[in-house]
Structure 1
Amino acid sequence: MKIGLVCPYSLGTPGGVQNHVRDLAEALLARGHQVSVLAPVDDNEAPPYVVSAGHAVGVPYNGSVARVTFGPRTAARVRSWLADGAFDVVHVHEPMTPSASIIALWAGDGPFVATFHTWQVRSRAMSAAAGLLRPALEKLDARIAVSENARSMMVQHIGGEAVVIPNGLYTKRFAGRIRPDWQGSDGTISFLGRMDEPRKGLGVLLSAVPRLVAERPGLKVLVAGTGQADDVRRSLPSSCRDNVLFLGEIDDAARADMLTGSDVYVAPHLGGESFGIVLLEAMAAGAPVLASDLAAFRQVLDGGRLGELFEPGNATALADQALRLLGSIDERDKLRATGLSAVLRYDWDALIDEILAVYDLVAR
């Protein structure tokens, strides 16, 4: 099958949608399909199956900054890609963003499949945009949502229905190694996310650090992600600055190592999440998870069976539960075992069959 995938966001910027599209392309290629990915490209390091939709610009979206490309030049590239590809299926991601995804729907004849990744509360702006985009969205032959929250958002704003197929990951890639220099004598906590994006909740974790260190002086807190680490470090009390190690942006191998060596992985996000792929990554690495009690995270963690939940934004509750987990090897071992078992349902080896079944329904 000849399959075209459209990613709205720059592949050079870390993000869940970008990782999803890249992993999906690799899973399809492994099954022998012909795959081409159209996406914004900011450098020359894109995989060989990627075709550039142009350079990306930052656009505020859903509490973050999305790097997308849009306009006449992008439209010309999209039309050329569609004509050259002669695809059996075109699979667009996030078709309600101002990006190559919606342009592909405007410009092409299909068959089209769309995946909806985003969840946000109902808004007049989103409803108005949905009205303007409806003629293009009506060209969709099948719809996928990565979670019940994303499906609900889609139904509220544009109607119709979607099958829920969650985000996936290659679980074996998260079997990392223990790095002694990343280990604390009183335990290791880790965080992964953009430091300059408030909704990722790093500030909540850092507010809990003084108490955590007071009770466990040898604790090490690993912070991985882009942002101004020096500014964040200066905001910490001097008594606990040495306990926090800022790793910056890390590659996939270091990501696996960090998670594998974590006694607790903390996801203190404040909102705007439709799924929680980072929770699955932590589970695949064997890291016990402590996460904000967001609807998306609660779903992934099966209501708290697969990880601990705390009130979003509550640093005291975060510290209470982190200290309890750090003090109980039995509880951590239980969460490790249940997480490692449950995460297999999200492995791409299993999910790819579900997506191919959707393609088979609509393909030429």
Structure 2
Amino acid sequence: MKLAEVCPYSVSVPGGVQGQVLALSRSMRNLGHEVDVVAPCDEPTVVDEIVALGRTHEWWANGSLAPISISPKMWGRLRGIFSHNSYDIVHLHEPFTPFVGVATMALSDAPVAGTFHRSGASAIYKAYARSLGVLSGRLELRFAVSEEARSTAYAVTGRDSLVVGNGVDLTRFSSVAPWRKDAFTVMFIGRHEPRKGLEILLEAFRYLDLTHEIELWVAGDGPESLKLRAKYKKDPRIKWLGRVSEAEAAARMRASDVVVAPSLFGESFGVVLLEAMACKSVVVASNIDGYRELVRHRVDGILVPPGDPTALASVIYEVIHSKDMAATLTENALAKAETYSIDGLAKRYLDSFTEQLNG
């Protein structure tokens, strides 16, 4: 089968959707299929399978800065890609994200499958999605990564989607050597923007005993990076890593005792939680819809009230001093991660694509 995995966000920028698109494509290739990743790209790529649509601009959406293409030239590039490649299926992620989504639905001659990742529909998002009208009918198959994403898609289209989940590359995390560390380590990885709740975690560290040997690794960057670095620069326990490679992220996550996801809203699933589970790190996450769907409280992770640094500090302190609890959580979490393998997810998609083509 020849497939196009279409991503509306720049694959040069780390992100949940981008990560899933790249991991799915690798898995499908390993299963013997020909797969192109069609996406905007802001840096030169030497990966043959990435078909670049040009550079992006950051656009505020759902509380986050999204790197999307707004260039009219993108339409010409996409038309050329589709005309020169006889794809059996075009798999479009986040179909209603401007403007790669609408261009794909308008220009593809192949059947289009759509996967919805978003949690929460603003008035602008609903209006834009509904304005697409007939074009959205081009989605012959509809998937969602979670019940939250399914509900959001239904709210704007009136059409149901099959929940397939996200996936994690178990081999990538199990085979990497843990990063060297000198203390009990807490890790945050993600965009530095209000929705992700990084400042809540930084405030929580103020409540933790300064005499205890503990470090916080902060990976990623974003619009709040400079402000937060300046505000918390006097705390030597906080290590600002900036944007890290996939390999370094995996190694550091393997070494971390706790991975914290303190998001405030807008998370439909939480791929980083799955990755932390695969690394046998204790998962501590905000008690919000998208995270509740994955984490069973005090079974394979711990949920805390969103926006509450004192509650977060209390849980981190508890994990530090309760090794038996941490061991139980991480064993259960690894078992959970194994049910979300990226290869299993790829096979579910491929089975649906085959059924569509044979139908």
TM-score when normalising by structure 2: 0.95
- Deviation of 1:126 (Å): 2.2
Matched, 1:363 2:357: yes
1:235-282 CA distances to partner (integer Å, 9 max, x unpaired)? 1273xx111111111112221221122221111111111110000111
Task: Work out whether residues 6 and 37 of structure 1, in 8 Å CA contact, stay in contact via their aligned partners in 2.
Answer: yes
Shift of 1:218: 1.5
Matched, 1:65 2:65: yes
| CA pair 71-259 structure 1, distance change in 2 beyond 3 A | closer
CA distance in 2, matches of 1:155, 1:302: 26
Q: Is the 8 A contact 1:190 1:222 kept in 2?
A: yes
**Deviation at residue 329 of structure 1 after TM alignment:** 0.3
Q: CA deviation at 1:71?
A: 4.2
- In the other structure, the counterpart of 1:154 is 153
User: Partner residue of 1:294?
Assistant: 288
Q: Quick one: which of 229, 234, 246 aligns to 2:230?
A: 234
Of stretches 146-155 and 296-305 in structure 1, the one that deviates more from structure 2 is: 296-305
Q: Identify which of 274, 279, 285 aligns with 2:273.
A: 279
Cα RMSD, aligned residues only: 1.6
1:54 corresponds to which letter in structure 2? Answer: G
* Equivalent position of 1:190 in the other structure: 187
Residue 213 of structure 1: how far off its partner (Å): 3.2
Superposed, 1:1-364 pairs within 5 Å as: 1-120=1-120, 122-175=121-174, 176-180=176-180, 182-184=181-183, 187-195=184-192, 197-214=193-210, 216-227=211-222, 231-236=227-232, 238=234, 241-363=235-357
Is residue 213–residue 243 contact of structure 1 (8 Å, CA) maintained in 2? Answer: no
CA distance in 2, matches of 1:76, 1:199: 34
Change (3 A) 1:285 1:74: same
Aligned-residue offset at 1:194: 1.9
Letter in 2 for 1:225: G
Encode CA deviations 1:203-240: one digit per residue, 9 max, x unaligned.
Answer: 001111121133x53211111112475643331273xx
Paired positions, count? 356
SS of the aligned residue for 1:363 comes to helix
User: Measured at CA, do residues 322 and 34 of structure 1 come closer, stay the same or move farther in structure 2, by a change above 3 Å?
Assistant: same
Q: 1:229 to 1:61 in 2, by over 3 A?
A: closer
Provide TM-score, normalisation by structure 1.
Answer: 0.93
Judge conservation of contact 1:3–1:91 (CA < 8 Å) in 2: yes
Query: 2: distance between equivalents of 1:124 and 1:352?
Result: 33
Cα distance in structure 2, aligned partners of 1:70 and 1:223: 31
Rounded Cα–Cα distance in structure 2 between residues aligned with 1:104 and 1:154: 18
User: What residue identity is the alignment partner of 2:50?
Assistant: V
Q: Distance in 2 between matches of 1:159 and 1:303?
A: 32
Runs (4+) of structure 1 exceeding 3 A deviation are 227-231
Deviation readout 1:167-198 (Å, 9 max, x if unpaired): 11211211343434x331xx211111122x11
| Cα offset, 1:129, TM superposition | 1.3
The Cα shift of 1:143 comes to 0.4
Question: What is the CA distance between 1:123 and its match in structure 2?
Answer: 3.2
Question: 1:11-58: per-residue Cα shift (whole Å, max 9, x none)?
Answer: 101101111111111111111111122111112125211112121111
3-state secondary structure, aligned to 1:271? coil
CA shift for structure 1 position 61 = 1.1
Contact 1:213-1:219 within 8 A present in 2 as well: no
CA distance in 2, matches of 1:316, 1:283: 24
Query: What amino acid does structure 1 have at the position aligned with 2:289?
Result: A
Gaps of 5+ in 2: none
Distance in 1 (CA, whole Å) between partners of 2:297 and 2:135 is 37
Asked if 2 retains the 8 angstrom alpha-carbon contact of 1:292 and 1:310, the reply is: yes
User: Deviation per CA, 1:64-92, whole angstroms, max 9, x where unpaired?
Assistant: 11111134311111111111111111111
Distance 1:132 1:230, change over 3 A: closer
Q: Partners of 2:262 and 2:315 in 1: how far apart?
A: 12
Q: CA 1:233–1:126 in structure 2 vs 1: closer, same or farther (change >3 Å)? A: closer
In the TM superposition, what is the alpha-carbon distance from 1:303 to its structure 2 partner? 4.6
SS in 2 for 1:194: coil
User: Would the aligned equivalents of 2:82 and 2:109 in 1 still touch at CA under 8 Å?
Assistant: no
Identical aligned residues as a percent: 35
Q: Following the alignment from structure 1 to structure 2, what is the Cα–Cα distance between the partners of residues 150 and 87?
A: 27
Partner AA of 1:211 in structure 2? Y
Would you say the 8 A contact 1:89–1:362 is kept in 2? no
Contact 2:143 2:162 in 1 (8 A): yes
Instruction: Please list every run of 5 or more consecutive structure 1 residues that lacks an aligned counterpart in the other structure.
Output: none
Q: For the residues of structure 1 that align with 2:38 and 2:98, how far apart are their CA atoms?
A: 15
CA distance in 1, matches of 2:225, 2:87: 45
